[in-house]
Structure 1
Amino acid sequence: MAEPVDLDTRIALVARTWTPTQQLHPGNVAWHGSGCDGAPPADVTLAGDGWFAELWQEKDSTQIWGHFSPDLSSAERDIAFDRIRAHAPRGSISVVTGAPMADTLRAAGAQEVDRPFFLLQHRDLGRLPSRAPAAGYTIVTAEEAGEAARVDAHRRAWAPARIKELLGLPVTGDEPLSGFTLDRYRTMKAVSIYRPELDLVVLAPDGGPAAFALGWLDDRSRSVLFEPVGTSPGHARRGLAQAVCVAVLSRARELGAVQAVVGPRGDDAYPAPRRLYGALGFVTLARTRTLAWRA
């Protein structure tokens, strides 16, 4: 029998099996499911016992995102992939190296393709580094900063033109504005596992937003995930991202967390996040690969 695909069900499904080497954390599902990651609505959504998948159908292929519980049997994984392939004769999906679903895909003929990949990084919260914000900057909750400042912090840090600059791509001036809006932020805050104590903003000396970090706490595994973190361009290279991340980790520990995870890009085209989390003591446990198949 197919499971419901509502957001709380997805979060609970991912939480049930989570370990530091599982690709999705409940926080990833919460962030994506609230529509805040910039992905358009999926063209097709599929679900079964222990898995769900979203499909975006493009001209020549279909992109898939989802979760497949590691305790699915080989036969159950085959059934899931057969259902996906019925909608996506040509498709691709990012999976963790060594995950059971990766074995199923390869057995069905899927091949690795060269795409940006992500790392699964982890650290315990036993002893945290000391990272105070630069002089004149203060760390407050998003509630204290105000919704407008929190949204502005995200829009500045994740503006498409800024991301192109970080990737070394040419900026034309015609880039769209960030799709993160007040309405989306409020939708995100309504997600069941959102904790306002872990939604922090760095304010500049003039009172404007300079950086932010959002942590998602999973009570079952006592783990916190960063998703997302950002610094406004005018305040970069001041250690603000490190300072606000340590503040999130400290507050998460007060709420019962014993470990933290994050999934930054791992390829050399976008090294800044990897450097940030490395400086905070995160170590890499696994990485993702993109597997693609044809009809």
Structure 2
Amino acid sequence: MTLLESYTSGQTTQVQRALSAWFPAGTHPGGFGWESATDQLPSSICVARNDQGLVVGWAGMADGEGRIECGPDDASSAAVLADWLVENASGTTANVPVYHARPLVRAALTARGFRDDADAGVVAGLVHPAGDVEFDLPDGYRIRAIDPDEDTARVQVHRRAWKPLRMPYPKDILGRIDPTDESRFTAQALWVMKRTWLYDRELDLVIEAPDRSLAGCCTVWFDPETGWAEIEPLGIVPEHRRLGLATALALEACRLVGARGGHTVFINSAPLPHYPAPWETYLRAGFTPLDRGTHMTIGTD
């Protein structure tokens, strides 16, 4: 029997450990931890448990965007979570990513009125083998782990790199952004992130510029149980862009993961027309596309 309960942040580690066994047919546990720490998970979430009390799945819904994840052979959880999605879609159009390796989830959604949505694009990602790889770093720049006492600078470099109006969006997108908008990353989010399962300070990287200011940052979530790591997030301060720093950070992540016995580094990216820069940057760095699934939709046409 599968039982549902509302999600709380205190359940994050339990959900992460379940996701560890399912990746790459699902969210990387580090990515889930990042979303939880920074309040980017769907606003409505349920967690599925079996009769032994173990987490066996989860689903979420916010603004017509759904998520559903469970084990590959768990028809009971797929059905119960699909019912929850339909109920929480509230009669409106809802879109859900479905992984190729989850035919039972696809079947459960199809039985409840979901249909394939080719216009929504693929569920993708980018991967690179872990291990030593050559890259160029401009003179005077160096990559290092954050120091234990530089939390303030760590928050500031993220917020500068991810200020919405300074992101490399197309002009039509930038024209709709409020100039006062700021990144949601705060000292509190960093405090939570540093206490999240799989966080490792030695894999929380920054790039130091020639003047010793921080030019970029990158958090690497390495799961030693599976050998998979995820980069989430990676950002470069606008004044230091177009120098190859994003490539250098990503490839240094591959080196560090390889040194820890990992086999693959993953980036949760897709070829988005409104935000092509990350996909194109990591392809040039040697990452290759990973086709993980498609989208399904329910609601009015």
The size of the alignment, in residue pairs, is 285
Q: Is the 8 A contact 1:118 1:267 kept in 2?
A: no
Q: Is the 8 A contact 2:123 2:295 kept in 1?
A: no
Structure 2 length-normalised TM? 0.84
Change (3 A) 1:143 1:254: same
2:246 aligned with 1:245? no
Q: CA deviation at 1:145?
A: 7.9
Provide the C-alpha distance between the structure 2 equivalents of 1:270 and 1:41, rounded to a whole number of angstroms.
21
Q: Which residue of 2 aligns with 1:69?
A: 71
Q: CA deviation at 1:167?
A: 6.8
Provide the C-alpha distance between the structure 2 equivalents of 1:112 and 1:270, rounded to a whole number of angstroms.
24
Equivalent residue letter for 2:26: Q
Q: Which residue of 2 aligns with 1:165?
A: 169
Provide the C-alpha distance between the structure 2 equivalents of 1:173 and 1:28, rounded to a whole number of angstroms.
27
Q: Which residue of 2 aligns with 1:47?
A: 48
Q: Select which of 206, 220, 223 maps to 1:218.
A: 223
Provide the C-alpha distance between the structure 2 equivalents of 1:244 and 1:206, rounded to a whole number of angstroms.
19
Q: Which residue of 2 aligns with 1:84?
A: 85
Q: CA deviation at 1:8?
A: 0.8
**1:141-198: per-residue Cα shift (whole Å, max 9, x none)?**
1226821221122111211112373574133553411111111111101112101111
Structure 1 length-normalised TM? 0.86
Q: Which residue of 2 aligns with 1:153?
A: 157
Name the SS for the 1:214 alignment partner.
strand
Q: Is the 8 A contact 2:4 2:47 kept in 1?
A: no
Change (3 A) 1:152 1:117: farther
**1:88-129: per-residue Cα shift (whole Å, max 9, x none)?**
243322223463223432343213443465522223225x43
2:277 aligned with 1:269? no
Name the SS for the 1:212 alignment partner.
strand
Q: CA deviation at 1:131?
A: 1.3
2:26 aligned with 1:23? yes
Provide the C-alpha distance between the structure 2 equivalents of 1:66 and 1:77, rounded to a whole number of angstroms.
8
Higher mean displacement: 39-48 or 285-294: 39-48
Structure 1: which 4+ aligned runs deviate by more than 4 Å?
A: none
Q: Is the 8 A contact 2:58 2:70 kept in 1?
A: yes
Gap regions ≥5 residues in structure 2: 51-55
2:182 aligned with 1:182? no
Q: Is the 8 A contact 1:167 1:269 kept in 2?
A: no
Q: Select which of 120, 142, 146 maps to 1:142.
A: 146
Provide the C-alpha distance between the structure 2 equivalents of 1:223 and 1:194, rounded to a whole number of angstroms.
14
2:207 aligned with 1:202? yes
Q: CA deviation at 1:241?
A: 0.8
Provide the C-alpha distance between the structure 2 equivalents of 1:160 and 1:129, rounded to a whole number of angstroms.
32
Change (3 A) 1:144 1:187: closer
Name the SS for the 1:80 alignment partner.
helix
Q: Is the 8 A contact 1:193 1:218 kept in 2?
A: yes
